[in-house]
Structure 1
């Protein structure tokens, strides 16, 4: 997954089939990533390690992710969405050096 930063930091809408909110969109489509790079957007690509972590948790429910966090003593704060919980897990694993 790549985070796309629009030149207009306040842009909310759709560009090249990617939804943007406050200047930020996301896509994993490599062709679109290249398109954005050549059209003045800043692209923040996910590291391979982050991608592997996302794959590890793909398909898990919110309850399953919460259970994983509890079992591994990971504080997910107020996160309630799948993406938010996965982000907290990723941050904890990076901090632990995994």
Structure 2
């Protein structure tokens, strides 16, 4: 089972067949877990087993321009960050703070 944390911490509803209450949903469907991770949701698996595939990093393969657009669409201030690593760090910090 995995907990899925929506970018909008107040979201209550159904997305991709997963019910969310106050921004938190749960599923054990690996396809959905990967899909949510690729869309910028935070995914936490309850139990990790060596046979489990690694979680998809939603920022893997993104260009700096794509990361900046992602941050802008979500109202995330990246400050003076200009490297891939710096922008990702700012995005992750903002998501944790929500």
Give the TM-score normalised by structure 1: 0.48
Work out which of the two has the higher radius of gyration on C-alpha atoms and give 1 or 2.
Answer: 1
